[in-house]
């Protein structure tokens, strides 16, 4: 997926397309809603170096889309390359990678509480993904660190040195697991996942999982999963499992570019950069088996950019070849497309409020 899931080869694509195409989206702006409940908050990444990340609000009762809602409420732009959303403790955290900021919003009205500049010693840190635990939000950054944000003071209280260009992050048991992609050094990428003890906030172990590890998620049975992204062309992107107790590493050989969890079900999406084909499979974490290798294999998705479990089915985020405004594709529990909703440019993350 472009810059995420997405490294040098995809960055080049976005840089090229941003010069060749107008990126103004055609979603009609609607009035600011009176309340933000029973709806979906959608983070649209925009285009690299265009400073056009946006938030959309979808009222699930009316399916009305209020576009560019952050700018409407806060009277300023959200930033460049919005990458991840997290809801925790009444606050919404947004990572804007290229702007090197973390935006913190009030969950009730989406007003900005604080914008944290992720620049350390005048070096842009480029925040990527979030994980939460007790009174802290942990953020991976491409500068080689995981930062801990205190959820009360909203200050960064700790920087933990990990590997090159850390990306995906998850928490399993009493540990944080961080994927070191090395994705900004294309041709010489990293291949490790590091384990951080939550008590000491120190690295305690390292796992070699394959080239260019990215998105991570943990199940309820002591396993952490990482998408080994490879090189997007010749080295296949696959799902790798780490047993956090036995330390066993298993390549499940399931094509993967992103992953999402709904109970025991792990939804695994794969976008083939060679063919443009999209597929979503289901892995059962309780039985440790591939439950459905072909849950969705649909021509209705042009560019599968991510997945979000929803009402027994999933929402597929369709980036529409990165240069046009995107769509949310709603699939039911049988994998049948039920509806599509038009959103902003390169939809990349969703929160249900």
pLDDT for residue 204: 98
Query: How many structural domains does the chain have?
Result: 1
List the chain residues with pLDDT less than 70: 1-31, 34
Residue with tokens 């919404």: 92
pLDDT for residue 31: 63
Q: What does the alpha-carbon distance between residue 333 and residue 41 come to, in Å, rounded to a whole number?
A: 22
Answer yes or no: is 82 within a domain: no
Q: Three-state SS string across the chain, please?
A: CCCCCCCHHHHHHHHHHHHHCCCCCCCCCCCCCCCCCCEEEEEECCCCCCCCCEEEEEECCCCCEECCHHHHHHCCCCCCCEEEEEEECCEEEEEECCCCEEEEEECCCCCEEEEEECEECCEECCEEEEEEECCEEEEEECCCEEEEEECCCCCEEEEEECCCCEEEEEEECCEEEEEECCCCCCCCCCCEEEEEECCCCCEEEEEECCCCEEEEEECCCCEEEEEECCCCCCCCCEEEEEECCCCCEEEEEEECCEEEEECCEEEEEEECCCCCCEEEEEEECCCCEEEEEEEECCCCCCCEEEEEEECCEEEEEECHHHCCEEEEEEECCCCCEEEEEEEEECEEEEEEC
Answer yes or no: is 32 within a domain: no
pLDDT for residue 172: 98
Residue 230 in 3-state DSSP? Answer: coil
Answer yes or no: is 318 within a domain: yes
Answer yes or no: is 4 within a domain: no
**Domain of 198: which CATH number?**
2.130.10.10
Answer yes or no: is 77 within a domain: no
**What's the chain's Rg over C-alpha atoms?**
19
Domain extent at residue 165: 99-344
Answer yes or no: is 33 within a domain: no
pLDDT for residue 34: 67
Answer yes or no: is 67 within a domain: no
- Is 179 in contact with 150 (CB distance < 8 Å)? no
Answer yes or no: is 109 within a domain: yes
């Amino acid at each position: 997926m472009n810059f995420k899931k997405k490294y040098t080869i995809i960055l080049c694509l976005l840089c090229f397309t941003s010069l060749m195409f107008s990126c103004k989206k055609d979603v009609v702006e609607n009035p600011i809603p009176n309340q933000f409940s029973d709806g979906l908050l959608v983070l649209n990444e925009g285009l690299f170096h265009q400073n056009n990340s946006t938030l959309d609000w979808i009222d699930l009762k009316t399916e009305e889309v209020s576009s560019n809602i952050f700018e409407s409420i806060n009277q300023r732009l959200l930033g460049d390359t919005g990458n991840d959303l997290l809801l925790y403790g009444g606050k919404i955290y947004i990572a804007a990678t290229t702007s090197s900021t973390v935006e913190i919003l009030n969950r009730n009205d989406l007003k900005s509480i604080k914008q944290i500049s992720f620049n350390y010693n005048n070096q842009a840190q480029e925040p990527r993904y979030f994980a939460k635990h007790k009174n802290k939000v942990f953020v991976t950054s491409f500068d080689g660190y995981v930062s801990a944000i205190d959820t009360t003071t909203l200050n960064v209280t700790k920087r933990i040195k990990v590997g090159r260009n850390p990306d995906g992050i998850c928490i399993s048991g009493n540990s944080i697991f961080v994927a070191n992609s090395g994705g900004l050094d294309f041709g010489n990428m990293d291949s490790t996942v590091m384990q951080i003890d939550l008590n000491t906030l120190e690295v305690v172990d390292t796992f070699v999982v394959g080239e260019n590890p990215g998105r991570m998620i943990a199940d309820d049975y002591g396993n952490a999963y990482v998408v080994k992204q490879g090189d997007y062309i010749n080295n296949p992107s696959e799902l790798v499992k780490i047993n956090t107790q036995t330390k066993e590493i298993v390549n499940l050989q399931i094509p993967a570019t992103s992953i999402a969890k709904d109970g025991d079900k792990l939804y695994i999406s794969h976008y083939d950069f060679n063919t443009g084909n999209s597929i979503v499979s289901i892995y059962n974490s309780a039985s440790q088996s591939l439950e459905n290798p072909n849950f969705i294999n649909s021509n209705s998705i042009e560019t599968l950019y991510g997945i979000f479990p929803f009402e027994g089915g999933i929402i597929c985020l369709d980036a529409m070849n990165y240069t046009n405004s995107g769509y949310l594709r709603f699939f039911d529990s049988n994998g049948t497309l039920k509806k599509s909703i038009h959103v902003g440019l390169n939809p990349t993350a969703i929160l249900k409020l």
